[in-house]
Structure 1
Amino acid sequence: MMRSKLLSLVPCATGPFRTMSTTTKLTTVEVNDKTGIATLTMNRPPVNGLNLDLLRDLRQSIAEIEGNKSRGLILTSSNPTIFSAGLDIMEMYKPDKERVRAFWTALQDAWLALYGSSVPTAAAINGHSPAGGCLLATSCEYRVMLPKFTIGLNETKLGIVAPMWFMSSFLSVLPRREAERALNQGRMFTTDEALQIGLVDEAAGTKEEALEKCAQFIGTFAKVNPIARALTKQQFRAAELEQLESERAQDLEKFLFFINQPAVQKGLGIYLESLKKKAKN
């Protein structure tokens, strides 16, 4: 896998980057012909809930960006107030046995692809980013967030235990003591709080500004050998990537066992009812 990713970094012999836009059902990829940076936009109304289809599209789009020899990847959302609301509860509530297996496998695939991407990655967080949304953001190398939104891994408040690789992404950004406390509390951080503790790197007033700041970060690697940079990044992240790769089957079985517990299903049901009440009000 690493060899194919590194080969994709060899300069293209066909000429300069071209402006292009490709759309799958739930994601859009746009490559800037001047910078060579790809913007990957999630587009699953109403809140970019990470269901099986969106996760598969994310994985496919990341592979496309690496295959197009883009110089970097910016992850963002078409929703003006939600980056991603996290894992789609409906994939886990009274789940179909085969679909829920495919769902968790697709989540593993998407995380491995983003966290281990050979190109520089940044997140333009233009909305709320709880749980799985925070996972995607912290899997990137740089984060720029708009004001008056929140971000965090709030799984414990939903009665869910975040797997170790969720925690690994969090720990790659925050000091261990800060990360442990936040995970145990299921804490959501405001933009200002996230900036203060280092959960995000910069704040921006608009989505356009956030995208520009992400592009500037990716631009800092312009004079760095891309293969050396990719190998350095992947060595830093090798332990977490290899752990999930080697424990994928066990991780899946743990998730299936946990999600099928009556108490967990009851908690998910209560949460869904609360969402319905909010929608009515």
Structure 2
Amino acid sequence: MSDVAPSPLALLLRTDHLTRVVDIGANPIDGDPPYKPLLARRLCRVVGFEPQPEALARLNAAKSDLETYLPHAIADGQNRTLHVCAASGMTSLLEPDPHVLSHFPGLGDWGRVLERREIDTVALSAVPEIDGVEMLKMDLQGGERAVLDGAGDTLSEAVCIQLEVSFVPLYKGQATYGEMDLALRAKGFIPHMMASTSRRMILPMRGPDVYTALNQLVEGDAVYVRNFLQPEAMTTEQLKHLVLIAHYCYRSFDLALNGLHHLAQRGAVPADAAGQYLRIVQTGG
């Protein structure tokens, strides 16, 4: 079905199945998702969720045969209020906090609630289209903790979670970065990197536009990985998918090489896999 050249790393690893990606809040308003390099090489399958009809329609119009997008609002499975905001990127199951937003240029206008809509949410563990997860991406404007609460054992095989974290909570009742860090560590994950950070200028100082900032951190996309300091706690298949994700999604070549080292010790890849991998990195494969 495709003339995509085989991935030399995938040939080296020979996973049992394509990497299973779940994307909650798949609206691509901030650019390409981190798993796009995997998808371009046909190395993953994606189940994405986007409750906003216009965004869902755009995703379905552009999707490949490896992508499935569903209209569910993923949380803890309870009835919730969806706060539809002036800026679609701020629409959330949590209510924006006007006091906090008033301290930063633009956010008060963007977070103005235009409509409150009662919706039924779906717990991640109750979605039949998901038969396992290696990589989870969450961009839910404060709803990430509710997803974890409703995940059950769905994330037992996951090796990577990228989520939006809040240093200054913009929504009422939003979990802070510290709270999410503790929740993820309790599930066996440790911080790996910040994929991005968002800074805002503190009012009353203003710059030439609303995006001008100095130092105040507001949000960021944090990447957590299954604790590589305890490789014995990961199955061989988990290690293989962690290598693929580290290499293609984040260019974390050191993490990928570490995983290959442990796989070679298990006899799951050739003994010279580390050397082969370094050549793959050098040639941009």
User: TM-score scaled to structure 1, two decimals?
Assistant: 0.25
Bigger Rg over Cα: 2
User: TM-score scaled to structure 2, two decimals?
Assistant: 0.25
Indicate the structure with greater strand content: 2
Indicate the structure with greater helix content: 1
